[in-house]
Amino acid sequence: MVLPGIAAAVDALMRADGGRLLAHLVGAVRDFQLAEDSLQDALESALHHWSRNGLPRSPPAWVMQTARRKAIDRLRRSASFRAKSAEIAHLIDLDAHAADWTEPEPIADERLKLIFTCCQPAIDRKTAVALTLRSVCGLKTEEVADAFLDAEPAMAQRLVRARHKIAKAGITYEVPGPEHWPARLESVLAVLYLMFNEGYASSDARYIRADLCDEAIRLARLLIDLCPAEAEPEGLLALMLLHHARRAGRLGADGGFLPLDSQDRSLWDRAEIADGVRLLEHALRRGRPGPYQLQAAIVAIHAEAPSFIETDWREIVLIYDVLIERDNNSVYRLNRAVALSFAETAAAALPLLDPLEESLGGYQPFHAAKADLLARAGRQEEARQAYTQAITLAAAPAERDFLRVKRDLI
């Protein structure tokens, strides 16, 4: 029999230590799927043992040791038993000389390996987010499935396929060397930001998926602890905190989405904004501004502006100039045009949108921004058409409602 208190304790253990345990196990068994399966076996076993005998002195150490033994069992049972004898010997050796696995340094290293493995650029982005949530954050498969509004079996399959690819495609379980470091770190940051956005700009705008935002923030903090010399993880965390600080102002009383100009700024979390700004300043002092720091700088200007009108739009345009110089990305150019429309006039900004039509024609915010500029420039009929186009492209009901209201107000 499993006592409910014990089930809760096992869940809490996984949330707190799941990533560390799994990282250490993958390091020990050198096989992602085997580590995952053995950890599951150990947790199953923990539920029953602990219900009978109470919690052990150190639950994580108990789970770690049990998982290692479960891995030996699984290897012994496997068809290629003889081929695995070296692995089994290695594990038995580890078990005999089990180091105190709570040593902070090597563990930090193991977790970093785990993050880099899950966020390998050769793994599809959505899968990387899912795998990171499952493996590093210790979310259950059903929770990961929920986060993506997917069915659990489909998500379980996706995770198994990913671990299979890690095993078979030569995705190394290590912190990448200097030659691969920048590209791999970029991929890790992209995965974390995607995780955050999945929560923040959730396709169901009725609620912000706080759990995903919190996980992304938690992971970014962990990454900063693990890579203290890097500026961009700090930039990313600052960016996420500065967005996150404004979450209470983003949804109206009816649950609808509120744009920046109609948000109640008194609802913004000043302490979190201060945190974000402090972190961003720390990052910028390193003198290596990257895209996350620059985007955070823009969000910081918004977060610190007393009102929409009093926002320093000139400065925002200048930061977009720097971003565009590094990466001529159409979304940056769209945002720059919008900032310019407030720094100067809507009529001055409109011609900047024409060259973006081709690349952003299927992007809802492009048409919404264009509609707004047209309306402000006094071109009502065209503005209505642009809103209609945006409404057709909007994914979330709350977004559609918001755009309809804007269109009817013209």
Mark the segment that binds another protein (CB under 8 A) among 49-57, 69-77, 170-178, 245-253: 170-178
Q: For residues 179 and 254, which CB has a smaller minimum distance to another protein in the complex?
A: 179
Segment 73 to 112, residues that bind another protein, using CB under 8 A:
80, 83
Site for another protein in 179-208 (CB under 8 A): 179-180, 184
- Build a one-symbol-per-residue string for 28-67: x at contacts with another protein by CB under 8 A, - elsewhere: ----------------------------------------
Q: Point out which span in 92-100, 115-123, 154-162, 264-272 binds another protein (CB under 8 A).
A: 115-123
Q: Which is nearer to another protein, 88 or 248 (CB)?
A: 88
Residue 17 neighbours by CB distance under 10 Å:
19
What's the CA gap between 378 and 343, in Å, rounded? 18
Site size toward another protein, by CB under 8 A? 14
Q: Report the distance separating Cα 6 and Cα 158, nearest Å.
A: 29
- With vertex at residue 74, the alpha carbon angle to CA 73 and CA 79, rounded to the nearest 5 degrees, is 120
Query: CB-based burial of residue 349 (10 Å sphere; 0-12 exposed, 13-18 middle, 19+ buried)?
Result: buried
Nearest distance, CB of residue 175 and another protein, angstroms: 12
Longest CA–CA separation in the chain, Å: 78
90 or 180, CB closer to another protein? Answer: 180
* Cα 75 to Cα 88: distance, rounded to the nearest angstrom: 7
From residue 128, how far is each of 37, 39, 167, 189, 285 by CA, in Å? 19, 20, 15, 11, 31
Residue 122 contacts another protein per CB under 8 A:
yes
257: which DSSP letter? B
Nearer to another protein (CB atom), residue 103 or residue 179: 179
Asked if 101 and 61 touch (Cβ cutoff 8 Å), the reply is yes
Single out the segment in contact with another protein by CB under 8 A; choices: 104-112, 119-127, 151-159, 219-227.
119-127
Residue 306 near another protein by CB under 8 A: no
For position 169 contacting another protein by CB under 8 A, the verdict is yes
Six token digits for residue 211: 């759990």
Which spans of this chain sit near another protein (rule: CB under 8 A)?
A: 80, 83, 120-122, 168-172, 176, 179-180, 184
